[in-house]
């Protein structure tokens, strides 16, 4: 024999080292066995044709698990070409995937079922490869029972690590292993009983004193899956007679026999020894059961001899077995059958199918995609082998699976469902380098909800889609483990809290449990997959980015600019006014606006960039407005970072259009819509919120800080907002984009209990100003070159007490500052006013600060009680700090935490002394009638009211903000800076008193919720009086507003005019006093006396010049417009017996005043178009002429029409006071005037004629006139009687 080369010697030395470490010699029955290395080397030489594979190296199990991080394969006997061909065939299945890389490693080990390794570990029926260094799971396509505990050389295998690098993978044995030692011998002759004579034993009830064991031989007709319940693993097999369809069930439950499951193959013949009969409890069903000495042998006709049944077996009594495995399965899983609905349920088909796994849809839910078209669901079976081998590229054979077509409307695939009677066989392993992610062995929320609520396939698929969306959206905030936590272990996680109400509503009847015995043992098959009903999802919870897209899409569906304008008004608008009215509109959507119903889920955050509350997930953020139904402001800082579920909400889509419509006639032509943008936000009430997960402890629904004097109660059922460590608090309060790689860090940071001191200071908010660009400068560390205006806001507060030092932030107590005050009286309270400046990241506190709120600043990682004094800006000398009159300007730091404590009105009885001290410190709140009163003297006003109407108009020339140019540079302003919004605000719905508020468009980017029907609290508006003596308010730099209550969901269309829903009240002209100048709308029954002036004209839609004969008459410079707009106006004199008034009529009301039909009016307008303009003046005295030429027949016609007696008639007039008359009338005393009726002349005192604006005019029939006159007389008499009695 030739001397080995140096390379071979080195290789042999490495092999000996490997053998000493990984393959120790075992003791056999006749003494020590042959050294394993020698036998292994002989196997290697036989495989390599006498040569050792020097290019390969041995690897132990522990080294394989520790060193190999990527999938790989080893083919000891293959050439390079053979390996390339094998890889190429695998890539043909999924071309986008790469083939397994080749590793030159030799794997040697013992095949075992794991019973010897860990006595406490449950034997799950899986196979393992082990050596002296470790053990690893393995999967084989072919297995023989005599291979157990034998040493093998594995020439072809693949190692597949888990996607989780901290866990080990498994080995796929691609070809039969080579035994190192020779196998044992098989017995020569075995007496057997066949299924046909054995089957009657399962129904026999004749008692017998003696029991014996039975050996049954037959063809494997069906193989049940491995099941594990209550720490017991078992499976059923069914042996069929060779010559008939008779079969018998066999229950295999002994740990040393679970490996049979890997040996058994359908259609093969087997012999099972040592069987007894057991009766399952409750059901009484009987089955053959293996014993400890039972063996599984391949059936061989030459070795088998049929044994007739003894008299003992023919009359044997079968005792009730202590086996409770199947019964425990039924009690534990409680799987139920879906309720059948007559006429609509479908029956699934039972088929067999062979396909290739092309995608892992959801391994936790047991969903796999086959051939890119069929979904395989294994959830109704237990995957005790953790789905090893089911990787993309693997081929599987499905036997007796259920075919369900379209079980869920939104599910794109046909579904093959495997029940407990189905068989799943792995035909070939994947040749691709695809990852392996095992399903969770415990705490699998998918399967627990499936079994607990007896879900059928359609509802289970919907549950899976919801949980997948849940995990994708929020795992970066809370971590997957906490998000999908099951109540079986601890408190339910957020996903379970969300799903349980829906499952309870959709599965009301859970008493009918899944019968395990019928499903596995019955001759007529029954299972939950047998019948199904196509399910329409009950709801949807898409990502917030998808919600915004869906809302925007719905807001533009069927949208037409003509919807925003009344046709009777639009035809008289010029181009500028028309496009301005179209520039801003909105629509509101609710959960029912979407199909299926849309539920909002999001983590409540507050953005320092937009200074607004937001619902956030991984995809996007949605601004939100939260209110309370009782009108109190939302200030619950403890809710930040919590996962919220909202079902009742208003999703608002603000639409912004840039259009160039020449006139109303072109509104149907959408080519004039140059640009359209949207802004989406949501508003809801806190009472409609369900907190699914809170990062600061339990938050009860409906409970808020205003109901208690403190949020620091130690009771378990109280609302707590315990401040975590500064690191966790900073992570939660700031609003960076979600990081998908910070799950573990989130968990560790939020669960940390490291103690750290902090300083807190209590204060009362007495005034708050709006978010604005101001000239405050943030401190510059290096230089002070930045001179841009800083977005900021400020609040005037009153410090209460002195700063407090706490060992831990969670220990801040029950307002000790106020407790001291109640004991010592007013003199015991230290009060000092301060101006807090919020800039940078501290802008996140803007939505939480409200008047009359008690708050606390908490400075983490601090023990200096003078920290607030040291940071004041500008510095204040120490000797003045104790004086309440000394101003204190304090910039709020980014790391400070704001905590809302309570409201003044919610202080407890023992804190009433503190309330008396704080009396008078809050800002004065006025009412709208007080603001409109002539006796009101204030310039800055604060009041609340409901928005009646919202109109976009041109900015007032004297109301343009001084920082417009800087504001225009900011992103987020979707309206032109020369626009303003006018809000008509009333005290309550239907109230006759209203005030107009003007807000420049540049301020609107920070304001949300300005919708008709919303109740708003306005602060620090500037009260002004126009030259027409009208009171209005403007939004200025110090102004602020907050939404008190949301609009009702049944509001009319946004563009409908105010007051349209209710009829105006009937009044007398004599009752129209100057103090009623803000009356929005009223009605009078009057007599039209005469027409004072009348003007009909066509004007240019672009420049408002006279439009004549189809073109604009402006010449310098020439106007390019070819569109004209007709306009009409008239002033008429009316009286009702108590006084007179001048009424201004416009456009369509002029036709009604003249009594012209629609055709007559159109003909008259066409005649005016050729002239451009026609106007007449008709004086009250006799002989007053007109200004037109006598040959103008249109003017003559109008003049004669105005003088006609038909004009002078009774009318019912809806009007409002003309707040901008052409002539400003000064207050005048009553005057004597003569009235003549026939031959009788009367003298009466009359006041000045009020100017009215016509809103509607109706002809009065005789019956209506008589009724209204009688009502007027009755009211007049009642007023007179009241005056006499007085």
Q: Is the previous residue joined to 35 through a cis bond, with omega within 30 degrees of 0? A: no
| pLDDT of 921 | 55
- This prediction's pTM: 0.80
CA 842 to CA 898: how far, in whole Å?
9
| pLDDT of 1144 | 93
330, 520 Cβ separation under 8 angstroms: no
pLDDT at 550 over 90: yes
pLDDT at 732 over 50: no
| pLDDT of 943 | 92
Among 76-85, 157-166, 176-185, 720-729, which stretch is predicted with the lowest mean pLDDT?
A: 720-729
CA 451 to CA 41: how far, in whole Å?
52
Question: Of 725 and 95, which is predicted with more confidence?
Answer: 95
Cα–Cα–Cα angle for 769, 774, 780, rounded to 5 degrees: 125
DSSP 103: -
Q: For residue 624, what are its two tokens?
A: 């939100």
Among 95-99, 128-132, 192-196, 1113-1117, which stretch is predicted with the lowest mean pLDDT?
A: 192-196
CA 1140 to CA 1068: how far, in whole Å?
10
Q: What is the mean pLDDT of the chain?
A: 78
Q: For residue 672, what are its two tokens?
A: 């004039």
DSSP 162: B
Distance linking the first and last C-alpha atoms of the chain: 142
pLDDT, one tens digit per residue, over 826-864 is 444 556 788 899 988 999 999 999 988 899 999 988 888
Q: Which residues lie closer than 8 Å to 82 by C-beta, 6 or more apart?
A: 75
228, 122 Cβ separation under 8 angstroms: yes
| pLDDT of 31 | 54
| pLDDT of 1110 | 80
CA 700 to CA 636: how far, in whole Å?
12
pLDDT at 917 over 60: no
Q: Is 363 left (phi over 0), alpha (psi -120 to 50) or beta?
A: alpha
Bridge partners of 377, per DSSP, are 367, 417
Helix (H) or strand (E) holding 359: strand 349-362
CA 888 to CA 874: how far, in whole Å?
8
| pLDDT of 1012 | 92
| pLDDT of 804 | 85
396, 133 Cβ separation under 8 angstroms: no
| pLDDT of 215 | 86
| pLDDT of 81 | 92
**Residues above pLDDT 90, as percent of the chain:** 24
| pLDDT of 941 | 92
Q: Is 197 helix (H, G, I), strand (E, B) or coil?
A: helix
Q: For residue 1250, what are its two tokens?
A: 């009020």
CA 183 to CA 491: how far, in whole Å?
54
1086, 1104 Cβ separation under 8 angstroms: no
Task: Sort 459 into a burial class: Cβ within 10 Å, 0-12 / 13-18 / 19+.
Answer: buried
Q: How far is CA 1027 from CA 79, 1024, 1144, in A?
A: 100, 10, 19
Q: Which residues lie closer than 8 Å to 376 by C-beta, 6 or more apart?
A: 355, 357, 367, 368, 369, 370, 396, 398, 401, 415, 416, 418
Among 810-819, 826-835, 1159-1168, 1277-1286, top mean pLDDT goes to 1159-1168
Pair type for strands 214-223 and 227-229: unpaired
pLDDT, one tens digit per residue, over 342-372 is 336 888 999 999 999 999 999 999 999 999 9
pLDDT, one tens digit per residue, over 646-699 is 999 999 999 988 888 888 888 888 888 888 888 999 999 999 999 998 875 443
1089, 1211 Cβ separation under 8 angstroms: no
- Which among 989, 990, 973 is positioned nearest to 981, based on CA atoms? 973
713, 448 Cβ separation under 8 angstroms: no
Question: Of 455 and 967, which is predicted with more confidence?
Answer: 455
Task: Sort 554 into a burial class: Cβ within 10 Å, 0-12 / 13-18 / 19+.
Answer: middle
| pLDDT of 35 | 67
Among 736-740, 1132-1136, 1164-1168, which stretch is predicted with the lowest mean pLDDT?
A: 736-740
Q: How far is CA 598 from CA 19, 458, 647, 687, 1154, in A?
A: 64, 19, 8, 18, 54
Q: Which residues lie closer than 8 Å to 284 by C-beta, 6 or more apart?
A: none
DSSP 591: G
- Which among 941, 760, 757 is positioned nearest to 854, based on CA atoms? 760
pLDDT at 339 over 80: no
Q: How many CB atoms lie within 10 A of CB 957?
A: 6
No. of helices (H) and no. of strands (E), the chain: 27, 61
Three-class SS of 608-628: CCCCCEEEECCCCEEEEEEEC
CA 282 to CA 660: how far, in whole Å?
81
CA 1190 to CA 249: how far, in whole Å?
116
User: How far, in whole angstroms, is CA 233 from its chain's centroid?
Assistant: 42
Q: For residue 226, what are its two tokens?
A: 């491995």
Per-residue confidence at 1194, pLDDT binned at 50, 70, 90?
A: confident
- Which among 514, 521, 519 is positioned nearest to 286, based on CA atoms? 521
Among 136-150, 526-540, 909-923, which stretch is predicted with the lowest mean pLDDT?
A: 909-923
280, 286 Cβ separation under 8 angstroms: yes
Bridge partners of 1094, per DSSP, are 1130, 1176
895, 867 Cβ separation under 8 angstroms: no
Q: For residue 744, what are its two tokens?
A: 């573990």
Q: Is the dihedral of CA 1079, 1081, 1085, 1087 positive or negative?
A: positive
Among 95-109, 130-144, 410-424, 990-1004, which stretch is predicted with the lowest mean pLDDT?
A: 990-1004
Helix (H) or strand (E) holding 175: none
Bridge partners of 404, per DSSP, are 415
- Which among 63, 50, 66, 48 is positioned nearest to 14, based on CA atoms? 63
424, 396 Cβ separation under 8 angstroms: yes
CA 812 to CA 814: how far, in whole Å?
7
CA 1026 to CA 1047: how far, in whole Å?
30
Q: For residue 1119, what are its two tokens?
A: 């106007």
- Which among 381, 374, 393 is positioned nearest to 435, based on CA atoms? 393
CA 566 to CA 1021: how far, in whole Å?
32
717, 699 Cβ separation under 8 angstroms: no
| pLDDT of 1077 | 55
pLDDT at 154 over 90: yes
Q: How far is CA 330 from CA 288, 301, 513, in A?
A: 19, 39, 8
Q: How many CB atoms lie within 10 A of CB 952?
A: 19
């Amino acid at each position: 024999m030739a001397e080995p080369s140096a390379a071979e010697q080195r290789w042999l030395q490495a092999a000996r080292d490997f053998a000493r470490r990984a393959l120790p010699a075992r003791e056999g029955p006749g003494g020590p066995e042959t050294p394993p290395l020698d036998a292994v080397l002989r196997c290697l030489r036989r495989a390599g044709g006498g040569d050792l594979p020097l290019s390969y190296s041995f690897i132990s199990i522990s080294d394989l698990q520790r060193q190999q991080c990527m999938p790989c394969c080893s083919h000891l006997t293959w050439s390079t070409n053979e390996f390339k061909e094998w890889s190429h065939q695998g890539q043909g299945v999924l071309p986008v995937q790469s083939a397994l890389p080749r590793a030159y490693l030799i794997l040697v080990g013992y095949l075992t079922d794991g019973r010897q390794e860990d006595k406490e570990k449950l034997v799950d029926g899986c196979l393992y490869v082990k050596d002296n260094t470790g053990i690893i799971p393995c999967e084989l396509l072919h297995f023989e029972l005599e291979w157990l505990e034998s040493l093998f050389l594995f020439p072809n295998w693949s190692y597949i690590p888990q996607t989780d690098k901290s866990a080990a993978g498994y080995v796929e044995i691609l070809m039969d292993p080579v035994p190192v030692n020779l196998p044992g011998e098989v017995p020569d002759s075995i007496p057997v009983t066949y299924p046909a004579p054995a089957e009657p034993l399962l129904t026999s009830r004749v008692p017998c004193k003696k029991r014996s064991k039975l050996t049954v031989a037959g063809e494997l007709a069906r193989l049940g899956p491995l099941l594990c319940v209550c720490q017991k693993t078992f499976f059923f097999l069914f042996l069929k007679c060779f010559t008939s369809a008779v079969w018998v069930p066999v229950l295999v439950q002994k740990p040393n026999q679970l490996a049979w499951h890997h040996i058994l193959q359908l259609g093969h013949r087997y012999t099972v020894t040592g069987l007894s009969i057991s009766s399952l409890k409750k059901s009484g069903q009987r089955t053959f059961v293996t014993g400890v000495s039972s063996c599984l042998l391949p059936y061989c006709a030459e070795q088998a001899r049929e044994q007739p049944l003894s008299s003992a077996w023919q009359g044997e009594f079968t005792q009730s077995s202590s086996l409770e495995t199947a019964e425990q399965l039924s009690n534990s899983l409680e799987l139920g059958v879906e309720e059948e609905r007559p006429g609509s349920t479908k029956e699934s088909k039972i088929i067999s199918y062979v396909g290739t796994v092309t995608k892992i849809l959801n391994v936790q839910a047991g969903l796999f995609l086959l051939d890119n078209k069929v979904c395989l669901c294994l959830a109704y079976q237990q995957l005790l082998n953790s789905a090893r081998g089911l990787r993309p590229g693997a081929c599987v054979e499905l036997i007796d699976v259920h075919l369900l077509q379209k079980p869920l409307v939104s599910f794109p695939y046909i579904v093959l469902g495997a029940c407990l009677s189905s068989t799943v066989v792995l035909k070939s392993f994947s040749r691709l380098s695809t990852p392996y992610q095992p399903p969770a062995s415990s705490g699998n929320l998918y399967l627990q909800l499936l079994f607990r609520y007896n879900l059928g396939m359609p509802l289970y698929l919907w549950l899976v889609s919801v949980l997948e969306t849940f995990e994708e959206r929020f795992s970066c905030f809370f971590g997957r483990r906490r998000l999908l936590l099951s109540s079986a272990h601890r408190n339910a996680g957020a996903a379970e809290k969300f799903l349980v109400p829906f499952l309870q509503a959709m599965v009301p009847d859970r008493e009918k449990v899944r019968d395990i015995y019928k499903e596995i043992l019955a001759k007529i098959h029954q299972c939950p997959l047998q019948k199904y009903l196509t399910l329409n999802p009950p709801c949807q919870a898409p990502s917030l980015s998808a919600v915004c897209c869906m809302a925007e899409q719905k807001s533009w569906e069927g949208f037409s600019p003509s919807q925003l304008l009344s046709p009777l008004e639009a035809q008289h608008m010029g181009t500028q006014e028309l496009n301005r009215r179209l520039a801003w509109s909105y629509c509101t959507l609710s959960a029912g606006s979407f199909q299926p119903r849309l539920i909002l889920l999001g983590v409540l955050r507050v953005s320092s960039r937009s200074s607004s509350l937001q619902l956030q997930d991984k995809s996007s953020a949605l601004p939100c407005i939260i209110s309370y139904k009782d009108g109190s402001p939302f200030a619950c800082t403890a809710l930040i970072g919590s996962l919220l579920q909202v079902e009742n909400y208003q999703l608002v889509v603000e639409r912004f259009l840039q259009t160039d419509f020449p006139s109303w006639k072109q509104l149907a032509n959408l080519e004039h819509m140059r640009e359209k943008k949207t802004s989406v936000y949501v508003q809801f009430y806190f009472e409609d919120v369900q907190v699914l997960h809170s990062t600061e402890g339990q938050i009860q629904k409906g409970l808020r800080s205003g109901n208690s004097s403190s949020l620091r109660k130690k009771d378990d059922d109280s609302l707590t907002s315990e401040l975590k460590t500064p690191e966790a608090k900073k992570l939660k309060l700031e609003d960076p984009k979600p990081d998908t790689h910070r799950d573990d860090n989130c968990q560790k940071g939020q669960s940390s209990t490291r103690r750290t001191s902090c300083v807190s200071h209590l204060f009362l908010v007495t005034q708050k100003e709006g978010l604005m660009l101001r000239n405050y400068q943030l401190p510059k560390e290096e230089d002070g070159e930045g001179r841009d205006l800083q977005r900021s806001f400020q609040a005037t507060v009153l410090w209460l007490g002195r700063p407090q030092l706490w060992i831990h932030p969670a220990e801040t107590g029950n307002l000790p500052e106020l407790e001291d005050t109640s004991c010592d009286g007013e003199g015991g309270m230290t009060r000092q006013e301060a101006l807090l400046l919020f800039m940078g990241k501290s802008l996140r506190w803007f939505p939480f600060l409200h008047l009359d709120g008690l708050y606390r600043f908490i400075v983490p990682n601090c023990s200096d009680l003078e920290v607030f004094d040291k940071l004041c800006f500008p510095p204040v000398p120490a000797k003045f700090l104790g004086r309440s009159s000394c101003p204190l300007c304090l910039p709020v730091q980014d790391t400070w935490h704001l905590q809302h404590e309570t409201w003044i009105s919610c202080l407890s009885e023992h804190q009433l002394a503190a309330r008396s001290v704080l009396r008078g410190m809050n800002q004065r709140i006025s009412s709208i009638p007080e603001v409109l009163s002539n006796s009101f003297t204030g310039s800055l006003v604060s009041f609340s009211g409901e928005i009646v109407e919202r109109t976009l108009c041109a900015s007032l020339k004297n109301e343009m903000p001084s920082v417009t140019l800087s504001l225009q540079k900011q992103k987020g302003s979707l309206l032109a800076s020369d626009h303003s919004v006018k809000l008509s605000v009333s005290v309550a719905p239907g109230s006759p008193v209203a005030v107009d508020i003007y807000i420049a468009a540049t301020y609107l980017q920070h304001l949300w919720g300005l919708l008709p029907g919303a109740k708003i609290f306005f602060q620090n508006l500037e009260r002004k009086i126009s030259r027409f003596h009208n009171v209005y308010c403007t939004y200025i730099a110090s102004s602020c507003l907050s939404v008190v209550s949301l609009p009702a969901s049944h509001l009319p269309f946004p563009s409908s005019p105010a007051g349209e829903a209710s009829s105006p009240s009937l009044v007398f002209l004599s009752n129209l006093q100057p103090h009623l100048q803000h009356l929005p709308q009223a009605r009078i029954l009057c007599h039209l006396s005469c027409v004072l002036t009348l003007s009909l004209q066509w004007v240019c839609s672009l420049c408002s010049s006279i439009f004549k004969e189809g073109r604009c008459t402006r010449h310098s410079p020439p106007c390019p417009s070819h569109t004209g707009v007709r306009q009409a106006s008239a002033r008429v004199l009316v009286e009702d017996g108590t006084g007179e008034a001048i009424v201004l009529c416009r456009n369509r009301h002029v036709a009604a005043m003249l009594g012209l039909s629609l055709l007559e009016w159109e003909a008259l307008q066409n005649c005016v178009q050729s002239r451009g303009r026609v106007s007449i003046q008709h004086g009250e005295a006799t002989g007053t002429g007109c200004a037109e030429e006598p040959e103008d027949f249109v003017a003559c016609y109008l003049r004669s029409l105005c003088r006609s007696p038909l004009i002078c008639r009774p009318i019912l007039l809806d009007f409002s006071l003309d707040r901008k008359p052409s002539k400003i009338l000064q207050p005048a005393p009553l005057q004597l005037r003569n009235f003549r009726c026939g031959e009788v002349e009367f003298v009466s005192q009359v006041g000045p004629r009020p100017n009215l604006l016509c809103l509607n005019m109706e002809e009065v029939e005789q019956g209506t006139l008589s009724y209204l006159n009688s009502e007027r007389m009755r009211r007049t008499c009642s007023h007179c009687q009241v005056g006499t009695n007085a």
